[in-house]
Structure 1
Amino acid sequence: MTKIRFFPQSSAPTLAEVASWCEATLSDEKDADRVVSDVAALDQAGPGDLTFLDNPKYLEAFRTTRAAAALVAPRFARAAPPGCATLVVREPYRAMAHVMTRLYPSARKPGSAFGVTGISPASHVHATARLEAGVVVDPGAVIGPGAEIGAGTVIGANAVIGPGVRIGRDGSIGATTTIQAALIGDRVIIHPGVHIGQDGFGFALGARGHLKVPQVGRVIIQDDVEIGAGVAIDRGANRDTVVGEGAKIDNLVMIAHNVVVGRHAVLVSQSGVSGSSVIGDFAALGGQAGIAGHLRIGAGAQVAAAAGVMTDIPPGERWGGAPAKPIREFFREVALVKKLAAARADSSMKEESGHDHRPDAGGKGG
């Protein structure tokens, strides 16, 4: 039978240990010595499993869970079913993340699950590249001249690290990723199929044809960034493209040349940022949001999914729609359109019900 997990579990802790990991409080100290064998979702958990409740939408599933224990917010603790111990904590989802990191440490950084070490003989590392002790290079990977890679970093199969690229310590570079003209910090996770440092889309357009503009900048990726599969980040044209520390970039995101992504910003799948725009610290772009070029999205601003942003967004504001506008204005317009459509439909129905479609209607009697 196939194992339930691809990743090895490090331990089977007691609830007292779990509570200490995430600063939770056990509702009943008598449960302190109970052992957690695994983690599971509310509806799939069984005896021995730890689960969590963070969204009120799943309260009914919590009331019927078979889990041995659950991480819950204080307001939901009394809803636990009989036999389910509760660990009360202010942010249950974040607490669960701490627990899962402890139980499955190899799942946190791709490429480290099966204890592979060293440089594969099926890879190619240029003689002038510098790799610190503890770097893992998988089969097929190519590391170019003058590249530097820090200790504990994993280079996935068939990844290509270009000349002069520098990658910090304890990172992960996914399979088939290509990186050139880039400086990458510590603990950066880059998932498979990412392309970093290729030309930006730079052309001097004209009636005589489009002249290519050399892209001579770099890509700077700071510490603790995570980049999802299939992302493309262009190098700068005449300055650097920058991704700030702690930023989280979902799968299939496009970041154009000269863009600056602020610290701890979040870019959700299929969003795109055009050249020379700035995404502020802790800002968030919803899925498929598009940012036009040379704009500034303020710190903490939120852009709704599928929004088309054509102007700057002030810090802390929420915008949506295409073209994007403040979210309340967008919702008012949607409500008005819905109301007008309903009135139009009602008017049409009244007109149809008041019109007699019989062939002889209005005709002369014989």
Structure 2
Amino acid sequence: MEHNHFFPPRDGVSLASLAAQIGAELLDASAGERVIRSVAPVYRAKQGEICYILSRRSKDELKTCEASAIVCDKALKSLIPDHIPVLLAASPATAFALAGQILFPKAMQPVSVSPTLSGVSPAAYVDPTARLEAGVLVEPMAVIGAGVEIGEGSRICAGAVIGEGVRIGRGCTISAGATLQSALVGNNVIIHNGARIGQDGFGYAPGSRGMLKIVQIGRVIIQDHVEIGANTTIDRGTMDDTVIGEGTKIDNLVQIGHNVRIGRHCGIVSQVGIAGSTKVGDGVMIGGAVGVNGHITIGDGAQIAAMSGVLSDVPPGERYGGVPARPMKDFLKDVAAALSQSESRKQKGGKND
């Protein structure tokens, strides 16, 4: 693969220095002066690149690996070819993530369309009543509404719309085409392209003349260090607030309904839908395409398998899966029983239902 001109290799950092910065042990000290310029997957890593492995399933990929170093843990150290230096780490994924941040710091934020811009572009609109601290960047075609407050070092990218009275903290990035209204945003928040924050929640009352719209007068509160993916929507509350807790990471194409409260340091994967007034605890992980019913509680540290349908409360620390979602051991038993019945019918010459 040719070098990616969007994120070209950097000047480089010595392997010894990189090991120290990511908290890994370089087993071959004589390789400490090797220069690392980029990251790569195991199977095509070349000189000047670093990669990592997490399981023995990567063993075959090592046959074509020519990396300048591999990050792994003690259990996998014996798999690494002798000619490739090992960076031993208790958590290889964390160490590799830190290495990527060091090598490609610009890739940690959405790419700017105006990398040389300082201040407010003359092609943007900023209402005279808006208050922008020092170092705020506003790119072309962005719109900043009345009474908006934006903290130092934040960037409002091309075509973003910041509605009246919205407050955005320091060090934030609001990416191209995103819209924010009725929202309070903390510090160091990243909102990716096309996200919709603070629009009406889905609330109607059936009547003799059809569906009557229920007023939605709450807010969206996004705490510090949250990241929200492209084209994700987060509805404002009906009368209370929709809250996204500190450090939570939300993937692309997620729908979060009104009055939902999500805890700290959660991970929510693409195409998840969370219905209104659900409470999600701290450290919860929700796999892709999960549907979560409204007015339920998912306890701290729970994990929900991809493609599940969560209809009722999930206790703290539990692993649930399936439709309806149930404890993982029960779900796996049900799957095994269904497969066994299907195989039995095949052997008897029956047809699958």
TM-score range, shorter chain: over 0.9
Q: Report 1:341-360 matches (<5 A).
A: 341-348=342-349
Determine if contact 1:307/1:320 at 8 Å carries over to the other structure.
yes
SS of the residue corresponding to residue 220 of structure 1 reads: strand
Matched letter for residue 275 of structure 1: G
1:195 paired to 2:196: yes
Aligned residue number for residue 4 of structure 1 = 4
Describe the superposition over 1:247-271 as per-residue Cα deviations: whole angstroms up to 9, x where unpaired: 1101100000000011011111000
**Structure 2 counterpart of 1:95:** 95
2:152 aligned residue? 151
Q: Which residue of 1 aligns with 2:50?
A: 50
Deviations 1:139-178 (A, max 9, x none): 1100000101111111111100000001111111111101
Query: Is the deviation greater in 102-111 or in 223-232?
Result: 102-111
Please state how far the C-alpha of 1:8 moved relative to its aligned partner: 5.7
Letter of the 1:106 counterpart: K
SS at match of 1:344: helix
Report the TM-score when normalising by structure 1: 0.91
- Consecutive unaligned residues of structure 1, counting only runs of 5 or more, are 350-366
- Higher mean Cα deviation, 157-166 or 209-218? 209-218
Cα deviation for residue 66 of structure 1 reads: 0.6
Counterpart for residue 106 of structure 2: 106
Task: Indicate conservation of the 8 Å contact 2:37/2:103, yes or no.
Answer: no
195-204 or 335-344, which deviates more:
335-344
CA contact (8 A) 2:44 2:64 kept: no
Distance 2:156 2:9 in 1: 23
* Other-structure match for 1:85: 85
Check 1:3–1:80 CA distance in 2 against 1; reply closer, same or farther (3 A cut).
closer
Contact 1:251 1:269 in 2 (8 A): yes
In the other structure, the counterpart of 1:233 is 234
Counterpart amino acid of residue 12 in structure 1: G
Identity %: 47
Partner SS for 2:65 = coil
- Per the alignment, in what secondary structure is the counterpart of residue 193 of structure 2? coil
Shift of 1:81: 2.0
Aligned twin of 1:252:
253
More deviation, 166-175/50-59:
50-59
CA contact (8 A) 1:71 1:87 kept: yes
In structure 2, stretches of 5+ residues that fail to align are: none
Could you list the runs of 4 or more consecutive aligned residues of structure 1 that deviate by over 3 angstroms after TM superposition? Answer: 7-11, 111-116
Contact in 2 for aligned 1:63/1:79 (Cα 8 Å): no
Q: Secondary structure at the match of 2:207?
A: coil
Structure 1 residue 278 corresponds to structure 2 residue 299: no
Partner of 1:29: 29
Tell me how far 1:56 sits from its aligned partner: 2.4
What is the deviation of 1:75? 2.2
Match of 1:361 in 2: none
Match of 1:20 in 2: 20
In the TM superposition, residue 9 of structure 1 has moved relative to its aligned partner by 5.3
Does structure 2 retain, via aligned residues, the 8 Å contact 1:48–1:68?
yes
After superposition, the C-alpha distances for 1:55-75 in whole angstroms (9 at most, x for unaligned) are 321122134411111112122
Q: Kindly indicate whether the alpha-carbon contact (under 8 Å) linking 2:255 and 2:271 is maintained by their aligned counterparts in 1.
A: yes
Distance in 2 (alpha carbons) for counterparts of 1:9 and 1:129: 40
Return the TM-score normalized by structure 2.
0.94
2:15 alignment partner AA:
L
Task: Measure how far apart 1:10 and its partner are.
Answer: 5.2
**C-alpha separation between the residues in 2 aligned to 1:39 and 1:329?**
40
Give, in angstroms, the shift of residue 134 of structure 1: 1.1
CA RMSD across the alignment: 1.7
Pairwise CA distance, 1:19: 0.9
SS of aligned partner of 2:20: helix
Name the aligned partner's letter for residue 33 of structure 2.
Answer: D
**Residue aligned with 1:210, SS:** strand
CA contact (8 A) 1:10 1:102 kept: no
Distance change in 2, residues 1:62/1:256 (3 Å): same
SS at match of 2:210: coil
AA paired with 1:148? E
Which residue number corresponds to residue 321 of structure 2? Answer: 320
Native 8 Å contact 2:244 2:263 kept in 1:
yes
Structure 1 SS opposite 2:99: helix
* Aligned counterparts of 1:91 and 1:129: Cα–Cα separation in 2: 45
Measured in 2, the distance between the counterparts of 1:196 and 1:121 equals 26
Tell me the SS of whatever aligns to 1:211.
strand
Q: Which moved more, 1:135-144 or 1:76-85?
A: 76-85
State the AA in 2 paired with 1:265. Answer: C
Aligned residues: 349
Q: Once the 2 structures are TM-superposed, how far is the Cα of residue 49 of structure 1 from its aligned partner? A: 1.4
